[in-house]
Amino acid sequence: MRRPVFYLLLACLAGPAHAALSYRVDIEAPDALKPLLADNLELVTLAKDPEMDEGTLAALLEETPAAARRLLETAGYFGAEVQVRRDGDSVRVDVRPGEPVRIDRWQVHYQGAIAGDAAALAAVQGELSGQWPLADGAVFTQEGWDDAKKLALQLIAVGAYPLAKIASAEAKIDPATHGAALTVTIDSGEHVDFGRIRVEGLKRYPEKVVTGQADFQRGSAYSLEKLTAFQSALEADPHFSSAIVVPLKNEVADGRMPILVRVVELPRQKAELGLKWDSEQGPGTRIGYEHYNIFRRGYVGSILFDWNRDESSLNFGLALPRTRDGYSHTANVALKKSEVQGVERDSVEGGVWRLRQRGDIEARIGVEYVLDRETVGGVEDKRNQAVFATVGWTQRKLDDVLDPRNGYLLDGRLSSTLGSALSDTAFVRGRARAALYWSPSFFPGTWLMRGDVGEVWAQQTASVPSSLLFRAGGAGSVRGYEYESLGVAGPGGAVEGGRVLATGSLQYMFTVRPGWRLALFHDLGDAADSWDSYRARKSYGFGVEWLSPVAPISFDIARGESEQKWRWTMSLGLPF
Amino acid sequence: MTEPTLPSPGDTPTTEPAARPPKRRRWRIVLLAGVALLASLVGSLAWLTGSEAGFARLWQLAARASGGALSVARVEGTLWRGFTLEDARWQQPLQRFEVSRLMLAWQPRALWQGELKVDRLSVGSVLVDDRTPASGKPTAAPTSLALPLDVEVARLSVDAVVLAGPKLTFQQIAGSYRYQSGFHTVALERFVAPWGEAAGALALGGAAPFALSGRVDLKGELEGHSVRAQTDVGGTLVAPTLKANAVSAGVLIDVDGRFAPFAPVLFRKVDALTVRMAGVDPARLMPGAPAARISLAIEAKPEGDGLQGGLSLINTAAGAVSAGKLPLKLAVAAFRVDDDRLVLSDAFADLGSGRLTFAGDFNPRTFDLRVGVDQLALKGIEPAAPALTVSGNARLAGPKLAPTLSLALAAGGNRLTGEALWQRSGAAALDIRTLALVAGAGSVSLGGRLGLTGELPLALKGSLAAFDPARVSPSLPAGRIDGKLDVDARLADGSAGRFAFSLAPSTLSGAPLSGYACARWQGVEVDGVDVRLALGGNRLSATGAWGEPGDRLSLTLAADQLELLGPAFGGRANAALQLAGTPRAPLFTLRADAADLRLPGEVSVASLAARGELASGAGTPFELALKVAGARAGDARVETLTLAAAGTRGRHTLALTGKLSLAERPYAVQANLAGGLSDAYLWQGTLSRLQLDGAPSLVLLQPVLLTAGADEVRLGGGRWQALGADWRLDNSGWRRSDGWYSAGSVRGLGADAVQPFVDKLPVATDLSIGGEWSLRGQGALPQGSVRFVRESGDVTLPLKGGGTRPLGLSALEAALRLDGGSAALNARLQSALGSASGDANLRALGGAFGAASPLSGRVALALPDLSLAQPWLAIGQRVAGKLDATLNLAGTLGEPQLSGPLRAANLAFTDRLAGVALQDGTLDAVFAGRTLTLQRLSFGRDDSVSASGSVSLAGARPTADIAVRFNRFVALSRPGMRVVVSGQTTLALGEDAVSVDGMLKVDRARLDFPKLGAPALGPDVVVVGRPKREDGETTLPFALNVGVDLGDKVRFSGKGLTTGLTGQLRLIAKPGAPLSVFGVVDTEEGRFKAYGQDLDIDKGQIVFNGPPDNPGLAIRALRRNSPVGAGVEVTGSVLYPKVALISDEPMPEKERFSWLVLGRGTGGGSQDNAALAASAGSFLAGALNDQIGLFDDIGLTSTEEKTLSNGTVSPAEQVVTLGRQLTQSLYLGYEYGITSASQAVKVVYRLSKGWSVQAKAGTTVDVETRYTVRFD
């Protein structure tokens, strides 16, 4: 919420020992400038102080016009008139900001090695003119100027010129003509490639576990993005409790910058033992074991056994660390057995995956095996078995993962059995998801459009493993309906998965204060057995989104049109 | 009067023995007369030495006896009780001594013990001017220096001693003297010479061989570096030894020698000597000397009967003479002294561009010095010199009284040879036997004789044969000149003589040159002038005589080809002059014009025309007209200048107009005079107009009378306008008999008056000053008075925040009275701020004012209300109080002595914005000599700050030593900051810098986290019309070494941080360097609230190791009750902090964060999402908790769909959790299912790090225990 009231009613917080001096400050200024003054003028910020006395207040009143002018200059107002009047316990600050200083011209010069690289220079200049925050005619602000300098530097420093620095910068302000001329000269330093990766802190695991996570080779052009990705990959790696990746800028030799990786290892094995008692399920146990250095090659293997009266499961997993070429492999097998009202249900799920992550694109190829078997009284009632290959492809291209304003997310997944071989029925499953963020330059706020379409083509729908069918509803789907409550109605009010799925959403978000956004949205969609029986459900709602340092957290309240009921949901992170 | 009469040196002789007694009565009469005489003698002696009046009379008698040589202005006291003499002088034709004051206090009683005991001998300024020529005889060693009685002068001081001959001034001489057991001892406490200060002690035996010992320490400055030197003197007076060494940055001097000061020959005065110097620059030692960097070694030691030694000199900064450098690179010499003979051998000097060799043999009768010049390129010595390389030799040899100088030098194709005899005895003369310059085929030769005594007769004959001037210097024209010169003259007492010069047919610059010139002269009279010179088309001819009545001299110049004279000449000049009459009444006709004239020395004239005629006596008309246009010489330029005079000699007018510029400043001048020259050759008339436009300008407002003659110049009274003011000049002028005189007054002299001389005044002022003067003088010091008074106006000072405000000046007055021997200044200033008044009297010493001139006077300063200075202080600052000072002046002008109190009361200074408040201040200080003793400076009712110490102004720079004590002093007090300190610091102002040392302890402090991040313009933002801001670290102007003990009552809070601070810091700075801080500050019972958690600061160290704004950080804050020790660690520095999450055991970052915020791990489950949810939830919890502070845990989890064995389905749903870690091991939580609205209460009890028990009660109840272990 925008700060609604800019006069501060400040009561004395001090104890009775202090001679209380209470005063109120009214700032009469254009709304855009009020927060700047209210947050930074000592007259305002010290008003709460219990030790404020008449003498100090008098000095502050005297100083305020000059202090206010200094603050206004950082917002581009170099000819502001400020008057301070005190009337009893009320202080009035009258600000007439005058004409702001606008940018007349700006220039960014690049010198150093980049000057010889015409293509890179042209690309940088193109990006500069697109992103420069203080374009011609814009109002000069100190913040914009700082951003502009940072941008001019970052554009090449994140690439092959990490040693770049600002050689000189000058913002020449002419208060008489209300014009500003900006000149920045960046010294790119030499062209830098990645050098050797030096790893410190390894005792247990092979070095490949670390180096394999890097998306670059010795000799490939330096990129900060790749370095950051390397850092986050290592942080997420189960072998290490922490990892720091340091580019050794002082040790650049022959145009190559060595990279230092400092890791703290976790012990090689982990065991977990759990005992459990539940009033409904009775006693249970959970035993897990993980080993992080199988074959001394850093492979991670895990076994998890979970048992209770009704249900038991056994999971095996094996993950091979990512290799230099960007591929990683995983395999897992899960056996599950449950008994509900005499129906014994066994399932086996297993798969082998080959994953590749490169830049913002993630690709997967895998072969999976699914077996569902139901036995009633020792007689096999139902048996669905499928062996199918899956190809998946995801791209996340956003300007800022934590605060997306522009960009898109794409995800496609296609699975197919190999005819009827080893499967009860031949089927093909496809699903495509897309989300688009758009912040128009002519209108405040951000638009989010989301779509999700999926279908399973099968000879016999009933023989398709139920985990491959679709359900909708809830966060990330159609809000205003319960989580996964949209699908095909099953026995006993249960909701079963459908063969087709289509959902869509249109959402408008605007920032109310840094880190917080309000959203208005309209969702629609459904999952059904066939397109004929498909009937899209609609909902409207509004929500609050908090851009936490980890991921955006949304709290939404929506009303499903068919159920006429307000429901709330919480969701975390990006749509997918 | 009861003092015993004693004989004293110089007193009248004692009574003669009584005459023989011829007869009894007569004997009685004689006896009576003798007794009466004796009594009256004793009585008058007692009166003369024992009473003030008598003692004064004694000096008058002495003055009379000296024949006017001695004079004493004032005498106080008596011989026995001690006395003071003022202004004592001794004046003889070639000697002059002046003593401004002499004060003697002694103990006559001690004479009974055979001792002369002087308590104090204090002498003011002394002038010594002794021009007695030296006798020339070597000084002989004294036979005895013993004194008849012991002497002790306990305290001897001399303000200043001025040696008028070498113009040296020694100041502040203080010490003591003693003669005891046959030894003279002098202890010198202080002795200030122009080149430094000395202190030391010397002892000298009274009997031969006068054992000598002592040590003097010198302290001075050389090349901007302080120098310290030690000199040890030993041996005897007949054969003293000297050991000295001086060290300074880059300069090292080491002298060790034994001398024989009474030896008859100069070079025998050294017995042995070693001198080593390095890095010496003569320019620093002697103004005007060339710059160099010289290392010098001189070694002389006895060898056989004689003394043998060598000298070597290296100059590492050799350079051209015109650049003020010494062209010498290396010089080496070896010498030997045998008996009275000095032999110099193997000596040479390397000048870089050539070499000089020396050899010599000197004894008291003959000497022989040979100098060889070896390939010396003159350009190497001086770039402006002609490009010649000189070789050859020169020799000065022969008997000491008639040496012969011979010379044979060659350069290029030119040779210079010569021989001259220098007759030094009898009729001294220089007899030039030959001096010849042979340049290629041509030559110039000269011979003659110059008498060096009497009339200085000169006889010179010379000839030129086919001489080509261009061979000597390329700037001279080429030619071939043949000619002869014959001069016969006497140079002394109004020279007279004749000269004849004739040229055979020659050429110059390719044009024919011919002619002759001859003349005789006596003083200014000439006769027999006959000049006829022709160079190409240029002609110069003169004939006739001038000086006697009836003589006539005519001169004609027709030069249309001046360029023939050389490259520096050009243009045309024609003139015709007829001169008649006598020097006292010349008659002339002149006609001259010139165009495009160029002369050497960058002088040029575009056009010049002069016409003049003065035909005959006083009544005849004359005319004079001069017109110059476009003339230029150096930076003086004349655009036009016209001078016209017409009338008769007795009555004429003169007009001058011109436009010129001097040093780029344009001026226009106009002057008109009317008057005439009387028969007594006194010009009398009127200056009717004088106007000088420009800066400064000068306008005569009314005609004034002007009289000018050889014995008198007088300007009548008149009104003038200059420097923007009206001046009234009364009779002023100069008379040969009694010097110059001037009187006048000025009104309305404003600040613009200084505009032509000063670019911009530092203050704005509309001050208008009036004044009057009346001065006259002859020779050295003027007499009279000058007085200046403010008429109106004020001085406006700029205010700190912009704008200006007048000072409120109500009176400003200064009067100076000069009476030839002294100057008295009386000044008074009264402004709104305060007033100052003073008078000073300065007495001349030796007829001039100088550093040693005695000074006396009084200065009073009163600032009754300092708060009136309020407008000039910065915002938020207040000052109050009053200040008074009454000081007496004494001493000399160079070393004034002050005495008197300086008092201030009710002092207060507050700066609200900085939080400084000093109240109830008192200052008590006393000036004594040149020291200000701070008896008391304190602030606060209970003296919370007090200072004492002294400030000395004695040295070249003031020094001070002040102790400041703090006693529960509120150093800072403003919202958010309150610091109370105790302790003591000393403030010392040394020779180099101010230094502050000390130790402070913080009694109590409360500091709030400073507000950060207020936007401010960056240093690279340049605003047109504002001064560019200085970028860089702020440096301190003084040295600082202060320890600060934070004590145990410093609280720091803000931004979620609350902590006590303890530790010790040391603040160190050197002048001109930024402040450095060293030390470690520890946190004490610190708590940090972050992510909604109270984190206990387990370890908190702020390590200062230099920059005050960027200390190193070592802070570890742990979550209270965290089983895994989760927390935050901050390392790095304040500007570059590194924040890391920590835990006791290794775990991934997200896990740590979860432990930190939620007090539990992320748990198992589908890894990433859960971790993400946990950490996002942690952030949300943290953000909310900072506001609410109720829950540690606000989270979101999702449960999977479950079908229970009874067939009921528990659908998948999102669950919100709230919880709080109650103790280290107990967690209480609440879960709410979003969809099912199911609720559950969760209790987690942690048995150990990896083992926990969890119970959940809602619609169902479950209990779970889990044990996790990681191992290798």
List the beta bridge partners of residue A444. none
**A291 is a domain residue:** no
Q: How many CA atoms lie within 13 A of B1129 on its CB side?
A: 13
Question: Residues B796, B808: contact at Cβ < 8 Å?
Answer: no
Q: Buried (b) or exposed (e) across B987-1020, using 16+ Cβ within 10 A?
A: bbbeeeebbbebebbbbbbbbbeeeeeebebbeb
- Which pLDDT tens digit goes with each residue over B510-569? 889 889 999 998 888 888 889 999 888 889 999 988 888 888 889 999 988 888 888 888
Same domain flag for A143 and A70: no
**Confidence (pLDDT) at A333:** 93
Residue B125 at interface with chain A, using a CB cutoff of 8 Å: no
**Contact residues, chain B, for A340 at CB < 8 Å:** 1203-1207
**A64 is a domain residue:** yes
**Confidence (pLDDT) at B1034:** 58
Cα-flanking dihedrals φ and ψ of residue B13, to 5°? Answer: -65, 160
Same domain flag for A158 and A233: no
Same domain flag for A351 and A449: yes
Residue B1171 pLDDT greater than 70, yes or no = no
Residue B870 at interface with chain A, using a CB cutoff of 8 Å: no
Interface contact flag, B1266 A71, Cβ < 8 Å = no
**Burial class (CB within 10 angstroms; exposed 0-12, middle 13-18, buried 19+) of A82:** buried
Same domain flag for B924 and B1059: no
**A247 is a domain residue:** yes
Nearest Cα of chain B lies from the Cα of A269 at a distance, in angstroms, of 5
Residues 6+ apart with CB under 8 A from A218: A193, A194, A195, A196, A197, A256
What mean pLDDT comes out for the span B296-302? 86
Same domain flag for A444 and A531: yes
**A304 is a domain residue:** no
Q: How far is CA B408 from the centre of its chain?
A: 48
Report for A187-201, B373-387, B1202-1216: range of highest mean pLDDT:
A187-201
Tell me the pairing of strands A256-265 and A269-278: unpaired
Q: Mean pLDDT over all residues of chain A?
A: 85
Same domain flag for A174 and A50: no
Residue B1010 at interface with chain A, using a CB cutoff of 8 Å: no
Q: Which of A265, A296, A325 is the last residue of a domain?
A: A265
Interface contact flag, B976 A568, Cβ < 8 Å = no
pLDDT, greater one: B1192 or B21: B1192
Look at residues A36, A45, A26 and name the one whose alpha carbon lies nearest to residue A74.
A36
Torsion of Cα atoms, A112 then A114 then A116 then A120, to 10° = -170
Residue A377 pLDDT greater than 80, yes or no = no
**A134 is a domain residue:** yes
Q: How many CA atoms lie within 13 A of A497 on its CB side?
A: 14
Most B-contacting residue of A10, A61, A203, A241 (CB-CB within 10 A), to test interface: A241
Cα separation of B1183 and B1177, whole Å?
A: 10
**Contact residues, chain A, for B1183 at CB < 8 Å:** 546, 548
Structure token digits, residue A518: 């309000």
Residue A506 pLDDT greater than 60, yes or no = yes
Same domain flag for B811 and B930: yes
**A335 is a domain residue:** no
Most B-contacting residue of A245, A303, A572 (CB-CB within 10 A), to test interface: A572
Same domain flag for B1192 and B1050: no
Query: Which amino acid appears at position B435 of this protein?
Result: L
Cα-flanking dihedrals φ and ψ of residue B94, to 5°? Answer: -110, 5
Question: Residues B541, B532: contact at Cβ < 8 Å?
Answer: yes
Report for A335-344, A489-498, B600-609, B761-770: range of highest mean pLDDT:
B600-609
Same domain flag for A500 and A542: yes
Interface contact flag, A268 B1272, Cβ < 8 Å = yes
- Which pLDDT tens digit goes with each residue over B163-220? 877 777 888 888 999 998 888 999 988 888 877 788 889 898 888 788 889 988 888 7
Of B1180, B1212, B1264, Cβ closest to residue A553? B1180
Nearest CA in chain A to B877: A59
**Contact residues, chain A, for B1268 at CB < 8 Å:** 270-273
Structure token digits, residue B578: 């007829």
What Rg do the C-alpha atoms of chain A give, in angstroms?
Answer: 31
* Partner A, chain B 1181-1210, Cβ-Cβ below 8 Å: 1183, 1196, 1201, 1203-1207, 1209
**B1182 is a domain residue:** yes
Question: Residues A396, A406: contact at Cβ < 8 Å?
Answer: no
Residue B1271 at interface with chain A, using a CB cutoff of 8 Å: yes
**Confidence (pLDDT) at B786:** 92
Q: Which of A187, A215, A246 is the last residue of a domain?
A: A187
Coil, helix or strand for A153? helix
Same domain flag for B935 and B1003: no
ipTM of the modeled complex = 0.70
Structure token digits, residue B227: 């120098």
- CATH number of the domain at A539, please: 2.40.160.50
Same domain flag for B1044 and B1178: no
Domain that holds residue B1227: 1163-1272
**Confidence (pLDDT) at A352:** 93
Domains of chain A: total: 4
**Confidence (pLDDT) at B764:** 76
**B809 is a domain residue:** yes
Whole-angstrom CA distances from B978 to A306, B1005, B1150 are 63, 5, 41
Same domain flag for B1046 and B1191: no
Same domain flag for A567 and A473: yes
Nearest Cα of chain A lies from the Cα of B1180 at a distance, in angstroms, of 7
Residue B845 pLDDT greater than 90, yes or no = no
Interface contact flag, A71 B1147, Cβ < 8 Å = no
Cα-flanking dihedrals φ and ψ of residue B737, to 5°? Answer: -75, -40
What mean pLDDT comes out for the span B1189-1194? 60
**B1094 is a domain residue:** yes
- Within B809-854, strands assigned E span 809-819, 822-831, 835-843
**B1251 is a domain residue:** yes
- Within B1024-1170, strands assigned E span 1039-1045, 1050-1054, 1057-1069, 1076-1090, 1093-1106, 1112-1119, 1127-1132, 1137-1142
What mean pLDDT comes out for the span B1093-1117? 79
**Contact residues, chain B, for A572 at CB < 8 Å:** 1172-1173, 1176, 1196
Same domain flag for A242 and A134: no
**B939 is a domain residue:** yes
Same domain flag for A153 and A237: no
Q: Which of B378, B394, B410 is the last residue of a domain?
A: B394
Same domain flag for B851 and B933: yes
Residue B707 sits at the vertex; the CA angle it makes with B702 and B710, to the nearest 5 degrees, is 155
pLDDT bucket at A322, cuts 50 / 70 / 90: confident
Q: Mean pLDDT over all residues of chain B?
A: 82
- CATH number of the domain at A140, please: 3.10.20.310
Q: Which of A249, A265, A281 is the last residue of a domain?
A: A265
Question: Residues B257, B270: contact at Cβ < 8 Å?
Answer: yes
**Contact residues, chain A, for B875 at CB < 8 Å:** 59, 62-63, 66
Nearest CA in chain B to A567: B1235
Alpha helix positions (H), B78-138: none
Same domain flag for B827 and B944: yes
Intra-chain end-to-end CA distance of chain B, in Å: 116
Tell me the pairing of strands A179-187 and A102-111: parallel
pLDDT bucket at A501, cuts 50 / 70 / 90: very high
Residue B1067 sits at the vertex; the CA angle it makes with B1061 and B1069, to the nearest 5 degrees, is 160
Same domain flag for B1114 and B1188: no
Cα separation of B1022 and B1026, whole Å?
A: 8
Residue A492 pLDDT greater than 80, yes or no = no
Of A241, A275, A277, Cβ closest to residue B1146? A241
Cα separation of B260 and B237, whole Å?
A: 9
**B789 is a domain residue:** no
**Confidence (pLDDT) at B9:** 41
Most A-contacting residue of B1205, B1254, B1256 (CB-CB within 10 A), to test interface: B1205
Number of CB pairs < 8 Å for A and B?
Answer: 212
Q: Buried (b) or exposed (e) across B54-92, using 16+ Cβ within 10 A?
A: bbbebbeeebeeeeebbbbeebebbbbebbebbbbbeee
Residue B1012 at interface with chain A, using a CB cutoff of 8 Å: no
Cα separation of B348 and B311, whole Å?
A: 10
- Which pLDDT tens digit goes with each residue over A260-304? 998 888 889 989 899 988 887 788 998 999 999 998 888 999 999
Same domain flag for B385 and B273: yes
DSSP string covering B867-931, please? GGGGGGSPTTEEEEEEEEEEEEEEEBSSSEEEEEEEEEEEEEEEETTTTEEEEEEEEEEEEEETE
**B1024 is a domain residue:** no
Most B-contacting residue of A150, A279, A304, A343 (CB-CB within 10 A), to test interface: A279
Cα separation of B498 and A563, whole Å?
A: 142
What mean pLDDT comes out for the span A511-533? 90
Cα separation of A229 and A215, whole Å?
A: 8
Same domain flag for B1168 and B1133: no
Q: At what angle do helices A142-157 and A118-131 cross, to 10 degrees?
A: 150
- CATH number of the domain at A24, please: 3.10.20
Same domain flag for B1090 and B1141: yes
- Which pLDDT tens digit goes with each residue over B998-1039? 888 888 888 776 555 667 788 888 888 777 655 555 566 677
Interface contact flag, A572 B978, Cβ < 8 Å = no
Nearest CA in chain A to B1202: A311
Residues 6+ apart with CB under 8 A from B16: none
Same domain flag for A86 and A119: no
Q: Which of B1086, B1116, B1145 is the last residue of a domain?
A: B1145
Report for B569-578, B754-763, B779-788: range of highest mean pLDDT:
B569-578
Cα separation of A399 and A404, whole Å?
A: 6
Domains of chain B: total: 4
Nearest CA in chain A to B1022: A172
**A106 is a domain residue:** yes
- Which pLDDT tens digit goes with each residue over A100-136? 999 988 888 888 888 888 888 888 888 888 888 888 8
Same domain flag for A536 and A468: yes
Look at residues B165, B167, B78, B176 and name the one whose alpha carbon lies nearest to residue B122.
B176
**B914 is a domain residue:** yes
Interface contact flag, B1180 A548, Cβ < 8 Å = yes
Same domain flag for A88 and A110: no
Interface contact flag, A51 B1211, Cβ < 8 Å = no
Nearest Cα of chain B lies from the Cα of A279 at a distance, in angstroms, of 5
**A308 is a domain residue:** no
Domain that holds residue A407: 341-572
* Partner A, chain B 1230-1249, Cβ-Cβ below 8 Å: 1234-1235
Interface contact flag, B1021 A145, Cβ < 8 Å = yes
